[in-house]
Chains A and B, each alone.
Chain A
């Protein structure tokens, strides 16, 4: 008798659980769709605005959260039950798609994190100079102030006056070669920027001493 009673109790529990799951499952599918759309759009937006077009240095998570909320509100009107009734295997498709996109998202995250290891120059205060003048570089991923890297003009190392993650100020030393030189920035991990800048040195010190003679 006791066992029977127990079984009845358990059955009620599982029955309620089943009802609960049946009701919640379509909602889970909608959430998966929402998250897929969210991942695709935020990743794309992040790559375009912080890497390709470079209109901002990093995306603001506040705005992406608001975007998620808007997506949730919008997708709540999706007639999921109708789709279900027409196409019962819809959920399998969504789950597999979600898994693929989740993996892609993870790969993208790794790729993006790797990109952040390399310094990137956005602007130079001027693209020419003379020995002794100070030049300001703005960009990103230079590294923190307590982990300064190095700046080279051609083969000569520059004297660093200020080092921050998004800004470097250096002084051109006297022994730098004349005319066009490539500007290279290395961060503390010895990663070099990918795109080179040409920097024009108007004269070197030897020349100046000759003129003075």
Chain B
């Protein structure tokens, strides 16, 4: 006893009061006894909608917004959140957000095992405290004192992570069963908000890491390309000068070795290997790093068969495609494909090569292969998070939009119906009240115009009516769209080819709208090949001159093709074959193309798949409406 009194002697007054029991500071069952106010669902809905929009628009302030919402809905004097600390195994609760009179105490907290929040988690239910400082004297300095405090636990994945709470500092107003119910539903929201804040923090960290890694990689790759070029040039020069420069050979050799060591180091750091390939002789030379990427023992002679044995079976068509290109003596190629390792792990690589003629006129390719497995993985994670977020935002704005349209249009409609009824009654009375009928008919017209104004405003908000006409190089517009959708196409393992007519005359139109059409066609084509696994997912984009001084763009896929019965409905609004489609894409495409005085159509390919094309007038005779 003496020991404990001594150890607490730094609390001068409070320690002399015997510590109150937990039961004596609890009054939870009072909630049911008190006269409860009726629920205000409208206020509650409004508050929840505001919380959800805050979560979507500015998640950084969601916890403070939540505290303010609790304060407002429960009409309490202070309200806030307590979260278990993450860095010391949850030994403490801290207060990240407080609204109302206790707001200056943000950042404070209580111990996990000796405090009201801990009691709530231990009992795993909502608790109502009165003057908890009688049991927990460290709360005495936190002013003003809490007459009553309602605490609700919340959980993430079944694990308690914190509490939300509301405090009355005077007895002018007491908590009741309705407060308990509302706090329960806010507790569930607190759980989602906590998760969202945590995952946004993670996402930010991931994005920053990825950008850092990419910048470094880019620096290395840029340096590497320059080095490859410089070195090639050096080698050629040296070859021709070899006879005269024999004396300097040793010195040169040393420099070369140093440069090679440097190159090998750079290749290692950037996970990039280089190769040299002469299709005429079949000779292939690899850098050390490329052997490492392919996990083949250094020095083993490289053949196309050996390369093929490592390429993922679903991507093997790339090798055939590459062979065809070299036969046609195409100067550059670039591929993304996967490697299947003996231990069944999968690597993603990015390969590019540049072809040139050597001194003997033989075609020779020099290229680099980069292991992008890690980058792919982080990109995929990022894309998923982005899609989830976009979906939440879209669904939310749709429902908000629907409610606001219904409300805005119903008001004037209501006036119209009432006025028209009154008008009829005035006309059929004996004698007819013509002056009154005239006045109500006038109001009916005015309300009709009001309803129509509402619709016009909405249309102006959600669909741009006026096209911005400019002169466009269709090829350039297509290239921009391809650049934008390339990573999406690659992740669907689509092999994209383009045949763009370099002599295509310019067209006049709205660049963004036409690009939306191209994007839509590319997406549709890619989606149509989602289930194709027995043939390459090839996509061909073509631009060409069409008869009658028009430009034509076609997108050809090797997908599932068209249902002959559905051909007539393809471009109608809400027709879709996709499970997740809105069916609005092709009908919008058609209206855009028609606005450009063009045509859009679809044909079944001779082989598998379908081709979607549009044709619009060239600029020479064009004035778009």
Do these two chains really belong together in a complex? no
